[in-house]
């Protein structure tokens, strides 16, 4: 009898952050990426939105905001600020991604809230950091890709800068902030105090440049574009086959590779016998490799290279990704049911715990659906909630949801 997969859905079990409460002030992509990870680890998330300021819609929002409850609170209204303070009193973590000065103008900055709630972990994500000449500028992914050097090394040589195909600085900064929050939670277990944790798209993206950044810092080399080739190893990149392309990497298996493509004589050819020689004679070697690979299909070569223990793989479109048998084995999606949109298949968190699993605990919330619920839980009376709804300090549905964000 086949054993149950270690990747099976366990959404009904409590996650590692099951007793943690998060107040989420984030919008767009980077901040919600952080909070989504906390929600997937089991944290109880209250998303606080502005009644008249809609966030991203569509599939992106469905994936970023799943597993949360939603309250609409006007932080510029005195009673809205009071309602928000009551939510903070019961929270472990606050996450915000305003420009650096906005939280101070709203009187919800770290010193103010920490004085009220010393155990609070206050997490901030901005475009450029909390201080410096660009601190109050708006920042978004492609701008940061350019400023962090990513676009200068992406794309074919001599073609000018190219953006990466995903919002990498959003994802990176959100993930780094999650790591910081988890470390702050661990620290609070020792000290009893929360702290301010912050990062930015720019900090995260420069850090993600990693290998290319230290080529400049340590070696004094300004990296350029290499297209689909690895900048310092060859053959490593995308190569044409009979029916398409294959990604492959020859690291310590040069002789095995030469044998696998039917050209064992290349193993002893002085033009290619060392890594340095292969880099120097890159284009001559590329021609020989692609001539050999063009004789057979991508599927054939994947079998051959896998048998030779050489890293390789096809280049798939998104529909092909989710049809791939290994992706299916990993069970990377989870279905949820949204009250307005029906069934949604969303990405699960990519880390698996044996005892306290992550989960996709539910669909994204309808904005404002839980305003009354979470404020009553926070200790407000029904009369206070009704009065603040009447005054516009809080709302149970967006105000003018079709208004364009400014």
Residues tagged active-site: 170
Compute the distance between CA of residue 32 and CA of residue 209 in angstroms, rounded to an integer: 22
Task: Answer for the pair 334, 357: CB distance below 8 angstroms, yes or no.
Answer: no
CB atoms within 10 A of CB 207: 14
- Residue 48 CA: distances (Å) to CA of 55, 73, 94, 266, 336: 11, 6, 10, 63, 22
Please provide residue 320's backbone torsions phi and psi, each rounded to the nearest 5 degrees.
Answer: -70, -35
Helix (H, G, I), strand (E, B) or coil at 144: helix
Residues 6+ apart with CB under 8 A from 396: 72, 368, 369, 371, 372, 389
End-to-end CA distance of the chain: 59
Question: What six digits make up the tokens of 213?
Answer: 């950044």
Q: Are 388 and 80 in contact (CB under 8 A)?
A: yes
Q: Alpha-carbon distance 43 to 166, whole Å?
A: 27
CA distance readout (Å), 340 to 5, 62, 278, 363, 365: 32, 12, 58, 10, 10
User: How far apart, in whole angstroms, are the C-alpha atoms of residue 348 and residue 346?
Assistant: 6
| DSSP conformation letters of 168-216 | HHHHHHHHHHHHHHHHHHHHHHHHS---EEEEEHHHHHHHHHHHHHHHH
Give the angle 110-113-116 at the CA atoms, nearest 5°.
145
Provide DSSP, 86-132: HHHHT-SEEEE---TTHHHHTT-SHHHHHHH-TT-EEEEEESS-SSS
Residues sharing a CB contact under 8 Å with residue 386, sequence separation 6 or more, in sequence order: none
């Amino acid at each position: 009898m086949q054993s149950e997969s270690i990747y099976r859905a366990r959404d009904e079990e409590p996650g590692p952050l099951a007793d943690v409460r998060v107040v989420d002030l984030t919008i767009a992509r980077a901040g919600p990426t952080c909070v989504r990870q906390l929600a997937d680890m089991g944290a109880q998330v209250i998303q606080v939105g502005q009644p008249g300021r809609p966030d991203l819609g569509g599939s992106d929002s469905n994936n970023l905001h799943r597993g949360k409850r939603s309250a609409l609170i006007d932080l510029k209204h005195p009673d809205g600020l009071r309602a928000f303070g009551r939510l903070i009193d019961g929270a472990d973590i606050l996450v915000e991604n305003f420009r650096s000065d906005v939280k101070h103008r709203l009187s919800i900055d770290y010193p103010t809230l920490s004085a009220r709630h010393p155990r609070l972990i206050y997490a901030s994500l901005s475009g450029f950091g909390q201080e410096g000449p660009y601190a109050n500028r708006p920042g978004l992914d492609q701008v940061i890709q350019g400023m962090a050097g990513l676009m200068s090394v992406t794309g074919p040589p001599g073609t000018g800068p190219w953006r990466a195909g995903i919002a990498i600085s959003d994802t990176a900064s959100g993930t780094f902030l999650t790591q910081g929050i988890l470390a702050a939670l661990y620290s609070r277990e020792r000290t009893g105090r929360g702290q301010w944790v912050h990062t930015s798209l720019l900090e995260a993206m420069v850090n993600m440049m990693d290998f290319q950044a230290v080529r400049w810092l340590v070696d004094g080399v300004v990296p350029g574009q290499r297209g689909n080739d690895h900048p310092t190893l060859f053959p490593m990149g995308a190569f044409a086959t009979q029916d398409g392309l294959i990604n492959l990497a020859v690291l310590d298996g040069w002789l095995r590779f030469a044998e696998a493509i039917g050209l064992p004589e290349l193993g002893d050819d002085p033009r290619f016998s060392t890594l340095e020689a292969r880099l120097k004679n890159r284009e001559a070697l590329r021609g020989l490799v692609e001539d050999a690979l063009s004789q057979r299909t991508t599927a054939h070569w994947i079998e051959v290279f896998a048998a030779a223990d050489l890293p390789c793989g096809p280049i798939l479109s998104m529909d092909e990704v989710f049809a791939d048998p290994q992706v299916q084995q990993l069970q990377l999606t989870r279905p949820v049911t949204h009250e307005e949109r029906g069934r949604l298949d969303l990405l699960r968190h990519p880390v698996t715990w044996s005892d306290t699993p992550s989960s996709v605990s539910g669909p994204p919330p309808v904005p404002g659906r839980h305003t009354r619920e979470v404020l009553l839980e926070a200790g407000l009376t029904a009369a206070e909630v009704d009065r603040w709804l009447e005054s516009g300090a809080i709302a149970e549905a967006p105000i003018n949801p079709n208004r364009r964000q400014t």
